Chains A and B, each alone.
Chain A
Amino acid sequence: MSTLLEARNVSKIFGGGLFDKSRTVALEDFSFQIDTDKPSVTSIVGESGSGKTTLARLLLGLVAPTEGEVLYYGKNLERLGGSDRKQFLRDIQVIFQDPFEVYNPFYRIDHVLDTPIRNFGLARGETARKELINESLEAVGIRPEEILGRFPHELSGGQRQRIMVARALLLRPKLIIADEPVSMVDASLRATILGSLLRLNREFGISLIYITHDLTTAFQVSEDIMVLYRGTVAEAGDVDKVVREPEHPYTRLLVGSIPLPDPDLPWEGERAIGRPAGELGESGEKFCKFNDRCPFAMPMCVQSDPPLFQTHANRVTSCFLYRESPELPMAKMTSIFKSATREGPPEDTAQLDGLDAELEVSQENSSTPTGGDD
């Protein structure tokens, strides 16, 4: 088993010293591993400011950790040599929230697809280049003739984001980190974009890290999930367990706040857990980040920070309510993930059946795009 990418006890602090008001602990003591031999889909969920993008940037080597290290095949990202660096830039691809920013409005769509081909020498000759582009576009359900030669503004938001997925695929990466890839598009278009990402996982064996604030889509695409709260992991593991039977009070609040598309189901929001407990006494140096909102907070919650308690074969919860369960060191968190413990491929691949049909229909039906949906 070889570890493609690893975060080892990583923290990221923005701003100055201990007493600097602008000091923000964006991520605290975070560990995570992605292996190459079992393609996985992992979600990272949290409210805005919880540290999701910081984590993505750390994994991409775009910012350096304040503490700990990020390793690519065991080598520290900050000290990657020339050829390793080039391989890293190919192996790990990223898709950001707003594809519009990636596109230069004055260049045709072809340009965003040509650039990586040129930079990495992916295809020799015009025929090979065309073949590669067509193959990638078709994998995400876009007919090449529908978009090539057009300008970014002539495409819909959904198309632009799928082209970013196709672009990532050109490089045949080992891992794609998608940071809120569907947050800017309509609910009705999200399925197709996420479906195209999932297909890369299933058909090309590419691992995915799906970053989102939306638990519902995380539930749909991923096998394992990490719920972040103010830079720390609140709960992590098997997505079925975490989303359907949440344990951590914050996860319970999140799940209770989702407006489910069924008028007969309740929408409890804050009532799912109740009011904050209130007075807990003087806070120590370490404390649970959720204590000020937590109805179950106890004095111990402001005296130390809860470690990960393993409450199930495939789940950990960072909350003292579960202190009867064995502790699991942060560095071992991903070892209990479903993707790490299962034999063979993930269980339900059924979810892609419908998608294949849909991509075909959309190829038949699509008329001239009008940009009407963004």
Chain B
Amino acid sequence: MVEETLSAEEPTVETKETLKVEDLHVYFHTYAGAVKAVNGVSFVLKSGERFGLVGESGSGKSTIALSLLRLIKPPGRIEGGSVYLNGVDLVSLSEEQMRRKRLDEIALVAQGAMNSLNPVRRIRDQFLLAFGDHDIDVKRSGFDDHIGDLLSRVGLGRDVANMFPHELSGGMKQRVCIALAISLSPSVIIADEPTSALDVVVQWQVMDTLRRVQEDLSASVILIGHDMGLMAQFVDRLGVMYAGRLVEIATVRDMFNDPLHPYGQMLIASLPSLESRKDSLQGIPGITPSLLNPPSGCPFHTRCPKVMEHCKTVTPELQEVRQNHWVACHLYEEA
């Protein structure tokens, strides 16, 4: 076990942008109309950084994750925007070119991935399936060594290669999914709610593993979830999603110590703690808006305690209102 604690160290992040998402729009075309799941999202992921995307269910987080790998299936469609990965716009690539990028440069541990391992295949074969898209000679000698190495890097025994998914605990399956994701040393790893079904001790182990392999590879990570505690302890910077939009982006410390967006403020204020029980059972009043008919103007105006008249008609843009602190809210616009 490594000695330093997960959260204590300061991020040593170069300013190089590994991933740059610009004005991404992703809609699901349902019989009832277009569900605007991702509605103009922009952010950058710096090299070596851990970035969090937090938001309630249905706010569009998984849709972003799938879009970054171009895995959105009909009736979903990327309507517009760009995703630059190491300078190349993924949105403009052919399917064949994109296939080679996956796993090799950008990998996803999808939401619920550990439960979608093929139940009748041994773990070894799951690696072979994953490599099928790449020009890798899986018959060459030493290939089993490679799988063994990957498994031991995520803290599993080499013998796990010969086991079936049902022989593994939830935490072990999630480690297998991480091993699969890092198998071709990608520069970006996206983990979509990787621990939401796991016990808290196992969650810590899995996140510790993810952090370790990320540092080994000098990769960047996007962690998706709704648990602010996990974000506080794992990421360097955090983006808050609300109804298909990013409403605030800040370093994790600025976000927790000085949230600016009214939604971000309520999110932080409602966090349960082990310090005091007073007021700890406050949620955020009101209901998440429909993405089919999103409210006009600011998406949060139906629940915002500071709503102003023009919030109902004019959509606020994400702006850098303090250094490295971006907010989409009319309260912070110059008069």
Q: Do A and B come from one complex?
A: yes
- Indicate if A220 sits at the interface (CB-CB under 8 A): yes
Closest chain B residue to A196, Cβ basis: B281
The chain A residue with its CB closest to the CB of B295 is A367
Q: Decide: A353 and B5 in contact? CB cutoff 8 A.
A: no
B192 to chain A, nearest CB (A): 15
Known: A243-B274, A370-B290, A373-B57. A365 touches B200 (CB 8 A): no
Give the complex CA separation of A217 and B3 in angstroms: 30
A124 at the interface (CB under 8 A from B): no
B279 in contact (CB, < 8 A): yes
**A216 contacts B232, CB within 8 Å?**
no
* CB of B273 closer than 8 Å to a CB of A: yes
Pair A354/B230 contact, Cβ less than 8 Å: no
Which residues in A have their C-beta under 8 angstroms from that of B93?
none
Q: Is B272 among interface residues, defined by CB-CB distance under 8 A?
A: yes
Min C-beta distance of A268 to chain B, whole Å: 6
Asked whether A257 and B256 contact (CB < 8 A) given A263-B7, A263-B233, A362-B285, the answer is: no
With A156-B288, A259-B233, A261-B232 in contact, do A187 and B201 touch (Cβ < 8 Å)?
no
Residue interface bits A281-302, CB-to-B below 8 A is 1, else 0: 0000000000000000000000
Out of A187, A189, A269, name the residue touching B204 (CB < 8 Å): A269
A374: chain B residues at CB < 8 Å are 57-58
- Cross-chain contact B274 with A216 (CB below 8 angstroms): yes
By CB atoms of chain B within 10 A, which of A213, A261, A266, A353 has the most? A261
Let me know if B57 and A354 touch, CB within 8 A.
no
Contact of B256 with A262 in the complex, beta carbons under 8 Å: yes
Residues of A near B66 (CB, < 8 A) are: none
B281 in complex: contacting residue of A194, A264, A266, A270, CB < 8 Å: A194
Interface flag for A215 (CB, 8 Å): yes
Contacting pair A191 B252 (CB below 8 A): no
Q: Which of A265, A267, A270 has the most CB of B within 10 A?
A: A267
Q: Are B226 and A186 in contact (CB under 8 A)?
A: yes
- A243 cross-chain contacts in B, Cβ below 8 A: 274
- Which residue of A is nearest B4, CB measured? A271
Q: Which of A1-9, A107-115, A344-352 participates in binding chain B?
A: A344-352
If A269-B204, A351-B278, A373-B287 touch, does A258 touch B7 (CB 8 Å cutoff)? no
Given A215-B200, A270-B201, A352-B281, residue A187 in contact with residue B7 (CB < 8 A): no
Closest to A374 in B: B57
CB neighbours of B226 from chain A (8 A): 186-188
**A247: min CB distance to chain B, Å:** 16
- Contacts A257-B201, A260-B232 known; A191 to B57 CB distance under 8 Å? no
A362–B231 Cα gap in the complex (Å)? 27
Quote the shortest CB–CB distance from B71 to chain A (angstroms): 22
For A372, list chain B residues within 8 Å (CB).
57-58, 243, 287-291
Check B277 against A195 for contact (C-beta < 8 Å): no
Q: A278 on the interface (CB 8 Å rule)?
A: no
**B229 to A269, Cβ gap below 8 A?**
no
**Taking A275-B1, A348-B278 as contacts, is the C-beta distance between A259 and B283 under 8 angstroms?**
no
* CB interface residues, A 85-108, toward B, < 8 Å: none
Complex-state Cα separation, A268 to B282, whole angstroms: 27
CA distance A233 to B202 in the complex (A): 20
- DSSP class of A's interface residues: helix, strand, loop or mixed? helix
Residue contact A266 to B5, C-beta cutoff 8 Å: yes
A334 CB → nearest B CB, Å: 22
CA distance A225 to B252 in the complex (A): 32
Residues of B within 8 A of A352 (CB): 281
Q: Give B278's nearest chain A residue, CB to CB.
A: A350
Secondary structure dominating the interface of B: loop
A213 CB contacts on chain B under 8 angstroms: 199-200
A263 in contact with B277 (CB, 8 Å) = no
Let me know if B89 is at the binding interface, CB within 8 A: no
Q: Is there contact, CB below 8 Å, between A358 and B285?
A: yes
In the complex, chain B residues 1-47 whose Cβ is within 8 Å of any chain A Cβ: 1, 3, 5-8
Assembled-state Cα–Cα distance A84/B231 (Å): 50
In the complex, residue of chain B having the shortest beta-carbon distance to the beta carbon of A217: B272
CA distance A352 to B278 in the complex (A): 8
Does A326 make an interface contact (CB < 8 A)? no
Give, as a whole number of angstroms, the nearest-CB distance from A261 to chain B: 4
* B228 CB-CB contact with A under 8 Å: yes
Contact with B271, one of A254, A261, A264 (Cβ below 8 angstroms): A261
- A203 CB to closest chain B CB (Å) equals 15
Given contacts A269-B201, A353-B279, A366-B287, contact A263 B253 (CB under 8 A): yes
B95 at the interface (CB under 8 A from A): no
- Known contacts A156-B287, A188-B56, A351-B277; A271/B233 CB under 8 A: no
B331: Cβ under 8 A from any A Cβ = no
The smallest beta-carbon distance between B333 and chain A, in angstroms, is 24
> Contact: B228 with A261, CB < 8 Å?
yes
A367 with B204: CB separation less than 8 A: no
A350 B287 Cβ-Cβ under 8 A: no
Taken together as a complex, chains A and B put the C-alpha atoms of A102 and B291 apart, in Å, by 27
User: From residue 261 to 315 of chain B, which have CB atoms closer than 8 A to chain A?
Assistant: 267-268, 270-274, 277-292, 302-303
A263-B233, A367-B302 given; 16 more Cβ-contact pairs under 8 Å? A47-B201, A188-B283, A190-B283, A191-B270, A191-B280, A195-B283, A214-B200, A216-B229, A219-B272, A220-B272, A266-B5, A266-B8, A350-B277, A365-B287, A369-B287, A372-B288
26 A-B pairs in the complex with CB atoms less than 8 angstroms apart: A48-B170, A48-B199, A157-B57, A186-B57, A192-B283, A220-B280, A221-B281, A254-B200, A257-B204, A259-B204, A260-B233, A261-B231, A261-B232, A261-B273, A265-B232, A267-B6, A267-B7, A269-B6, A351-B280, A354-B281, A365-B303, A367-B286, A372-B288, A373-B287, A373-B288, A374-B57
